[in-house]
Amino acid sequence: MLTLYGRPNSSNSAKVFWLLDELGADWRLEPAGRGFGPTDTPEFREMNPFGKVPVLKDGETVVWESHAILRYLGTREPTALWPEGAAARSRIDRWMDWAAISFTPPLTRLRKARGAGGSGEADLPAVLAGARALDGWLARHRYLAGGDLSLADIAASPSVHRWFRLPEAAEALPNLARYRDDLARNPGYCRHIRDALS
Ligand SMILES: N[C@@H](CCC(=O)N[C@@H](CS)C(=O)NCC(=O)O)C(=O)O
């Protein structure tokens, strides 16, 4: 059985919960992270030197970094979510990197700034540019990597969900809204992302 150290209100854990359920994996949650369980113990730091969740344990194999975990699980149990072949994987991987590097960080800073009473002005342009680019792409593609749900959609899902919680989402981005509605037909998205993340 797989063990996932994480917490239900963590966006990076939530992506992995969704994939584990999507794969029908045999797994259990070991509650860890802020408010759920210590990550500053020598044992936890031996697994992840940064003391962050999620961390996956598969027998002797330990994996941290949520997107590395998604790729590990996708490779361990091949499905259309992470199809074989360099070209097919690169179509997915680029969106995973883009979400992790270019879209989620300014969105997270914006949310934190506003949560602390600020405007988040410094990060708003990057967030808007990301959402508009997504909208343009999704006018021509049902999912991020093409016609099928993939690890790219799971990786980007917390930020897509959180975009729609911003007042700026009232701006008409119809293709992004259609995409969010398509994701919401997936029970794993609803359970672990839509209904679990603020
Ligand atoms: N880049 C890492 C980020 C991991 C991360 O920052 N995790 C947060 C939760 S989303 C965390 O561990 N926060 C501290 C805590 O919960 O104790 C990943 O994608 O896994």
> pLDDT, tens digit, for every residue of 26-48?
999 999 999 999 999 999 999 99
In this structure, are strands 27-31 and 55-58 parallel, antiparallel, or unpaired? unpaired
CB burial of residue 63 (10 Å; 0-12, 13-18, 19+)? buried
AA identity, residue 3: T
Paired with 30 in beta bridges are 5
* Phi then psi dihedrals of residue 81, to 5 deg: -70, -25
How many angstroms does the Cα of residue 179 sit away from the middle of ligand 1? 26
CATH architecture of 2-76: 3-Layer(aba) Sandwich (3.40)
Mind giving me the DSSP string for 155-170?
Answer: HHHHHHHHHTTSGGGG
CATH 3.40.30.10 segments of the chain: 2-76
Helix (H) or strand (E) holding 77, with range, is: none
CA distances from 33 to 13, 27, 69, 111, 168 (A): 10, 18, 17, 20, 31
AA identity, residue 82: W
Q: What is the CATH number of domain 86-193?
A: 1.20.1050.10
How many angstroms does the Cα of residue 140 sit away from the middle of ligand 1? 33
CATH 1.20.1050.10 segments of the chain: 86-193
The residue nearest atom 19 of ligand 1, judged by CA position, is 66
Q: What is the mean pLDDT of the chain?
A: 97
Strands (E), the chain: 2-6, 27-31, 55-58, 61-64
Task: Using alpha carbons, select from 36, 150, 159, 169 the residue that is nearest to residue 84.
Answer: 150
Atom of ligand 1 nearest to the CA of 52: 12
Task: Using alpha carbons, select from 33, 42, 40, 1 the residue that is nearest to residue 14.
Answer: 33
Pocket of ligand 1 (CB under 6 A): 10-12, 33-34, 39, 52-54, 65-66
**Residues of the chain where predicted confidence (pLDDT) is lower than 70:** none
> pLDDT, tens digit, for every residue of 145-169?
999 999 999 999 999 999 999 999 9
